[in-house]
Amino acid sequence: MKTKILKWGIFFFTAISFIACSEDPVINSTSDEVITQKERPSSGGNLVYSDLGSTYSKTQARTIFAKTLATAISGNREIKEFIYNEAATQYNGDYEVLYVMVKDRNIGGVPFHQLLNDTARNLQYAQEVTPDFFSNEILKADPKLTIFLEERYFNNVQAYDMPVNVGVQPAEIREAQSSGYTAFKEDGSEFVVTDYSQDTVLMGIKENERIELFNVNTFNTTDGRHIAKFLSGPLCNTFLQHIIQLFFTAIINGDQYLIIQVTKLYDIYRCICLGDCGDPDADGDGVPDAEDECPNEAGPASNNGCPEDPEPDCVAPNCHRTTFDKKDEIYKFKFNNCSAYSSTSELFEGKREMRAVVVYSYMDPVTNTVISTDIKKAGSFSKGSLRDANFWGTCQSTKWVTTNWETFNWDYCTHGEQIKIFWYEEDPGQWGTFNLTVKFKLGPVDVNSSLDIPLKNNDDILGESVVQYCDAATGSGTLYNTGSIQFYYRLQP
């Protein structure tokens, strides 16, 4: 349960100096700095370029970086140790290293980008590497370039002594479109990797999908979106101004870009703009104010937080939830099969942000209308906890994951005979909503109600299930199936 939302420790700051070159501006700026775009070479394929003006495509930049990194590690094992230590901090929840955050860090007294540049001078490339490639140009080509490591390497101490291969996730294709990926050994030789080896560490070079880079002068991302796109709506104008003021007062002098974890930013947005800031309990009766019909007067959960009515006008059926005065919980879940799991997977993706929304209704005693509300549950789960795998993470079977997500104390005479549980997997993207219809049934009352659930356009919708009040709720509870997700819902033991 959250007690504070505005924990500004989620903002990470780092210095980056992109050099402007040539003419055509691609991002409007309120300062003297204008990012420009150089003429790009023609290509027979559909190469993906950033909006920052580099002549290198994202895949070209990643390929040069991968070969250079693999070769540099062979000559300096401190680089491998440096990457391991940075990835182990899990700054964004995954075992990843965002290059822009570490390029100027010293390894043995020499900046990381300089070690890579010195290595590159001794390698042969089909395309010439500019002198400032690792200090500047690569960040124009692929500003969110990231080194990824699987969780397995942090559970095996022997991995520290294994040789390293560095693989490239192309920007032009997704995992399902390829059976193998270009990788480089420590001697610089190129090969196609199709599986994780037992005696070699595989690092992946990809684009980070969990963060955004904002220009501190324009508040635009590296692909031109303004921060207002992430914090939209008339009720958010004041909050947006506070965010901008924070940037001005907190940014280290000379920094040009600010790194923001998008998932954390959304938590703030959801609190300020949607009013979903956790579950306060003003009267201390154990019933959150959002569910308490008498928030300033203590009462049992069985009466929705209000003092007991001496003459109840409703009699609950004789079943588990009536017998035990306990809260419900989502006990555990799993993907139905590998196909359902793979529909949300990416090769170099680490942890998964799973969401379950418990939607229920109650009768407003004043207006005599049905009101629908929800409880949002969330958790991040690693690949290993969700499925067994080999061959580049290919799913072999899915696993049960215990969550024990507490929901609410289901009172039949308040909440009726059924609730609905909606599942989705969170991904970065723009904001939107999903309309969920709920049937409220209490004796003769049978009404359809609906609730808008905030979603983003890249979120993976995983289905919904109806839970009846008298479904078996002790032990493991009752098993439900959304088509993509199986889960047990029960009374807390």
The pLDDT value given to residue 75: 86
Q: What is the mean pLDDT of residues 237-248?
A: 55
pLDDT digits (tens, 9 = 90+) for 377-413: 988 888 888 888 776 667 889 999 999 999 999 998 8
294 domain-assigned = no
d(CA 190, CA 463): 43
Structural domain harbouring 63? 40-209
Q: What is the mean pLDDT of residues 72-78?
A: 90
d(CA 278, CA 291): 12
* In contact, 52 and 18? CB cutoff 8 Å: yes
How are the residues of the chain apportioned to helix, strand and coil, as percentages rounded to the nearest 5?
A: 25, 30, 45
- The residues pairing with 480 across neighbouring beta strands, listed in sequence order, are 487
The pLDDT value given to residue 61: 93
Considering 209, 243, 272, which residue would you say is the last residue of a domain? 209
d(CA 357, CA 424): 9
* In contact, 187 and 168? CB cutoff 8 Å: no
3-state SS assignment for residue 285? coil
* In contact, 165 and 201? CB cutoff 8 Å: yes
61 and 204, same structural domain? yes
The pLDDT value given to residue 334: 94
122 domain-assigned = yes
pLDDT above 50 for 426: yes
pLDDT above 80 for 450: no
* Closest by CA position to 87, among listed 167, 166, 148, 142: 148
pLDDT above 60 for 307: yes
- Of the two residues 270 and 58, the one the predictor is more confident about is 58
* In contact, 401 and 434? CB cutoff 8 Å: no
* In contact, 232 and 265? CB cutoff 8 Å: no
229 domain-assigned = no
pLDDT digits (tens, 9 = 90+) for 315-329: 888 998 998 889 999
3-state SS assignment for residue 234? helix
pLDDT digits (tens, 9 = 90+) for 175-203: 545 667 889 999 888 888 887 888 899 99
- Could you tell me the pLDDT band of residue 83, with boundaries at 50, 70 and 90? very high
d(CA 402, CA 398): 13
The pLDDT value given to residue 431: 60
The 10 Å Cβ neighbour count of residue 149 is 23
d(CA 146, CA 156): 22
Indicate the number of domains in the chain: 2
Considering 177, 209, 241, which residue would you say is the last residue of a domain? 209
* In contact, 447 and 372? CB cutoff 8 Å: no
* Closest by CA position to 270, among listed 431, 476, 461: 431
* In contact, 203 and 165? CB cutoff 8 Å: yes
* In contact, 478 and 467? CB cutoff 8 Å: yes
339 domain-assigned = yes
199 and 51, same structural domain? yes
pLDDT above 50 for 254: no
pLDDT digits (tens, 9 = 90+) for 111-134: 999 999 999 888 766 456 888 899
262 domain-assigned = no
- Could you tell me the pLDDT band of residue 245, with boundaries at 50, 70 and 90? low
Amino acid at 446: D
Considering 177, 194, 209, which residue would you say is the last residue of a domain? 209
Q: How far is CA 386 from CA 208, 331, 345, 398, in A?
A: 21, 15, 11, 6
273 domain-assigned = no
476 and 344, same structural domain? yes
Residues 6+ apart with CB under 8 A from 265: 10, 212, 230, 231
Q: Give the ranges where 251-319 is alpha helix by DSSP (H).
A: 262-274
334 and 186, same structural domain? no
182 and 328, same structural domain? no
Percent of the chain whose predicted confidence (pLDDT) is above 70: 68
24 domain-assigned = no
- Of the two residues 62 and 432, the one the predictor is more confident about is 62
278 domain-assigned = no
d(CA 112, CA 116): 7
Average pLDDT, the chain: 75
The pLDDT value given to residue 237: 61
pLDDT above 90 for 51: no
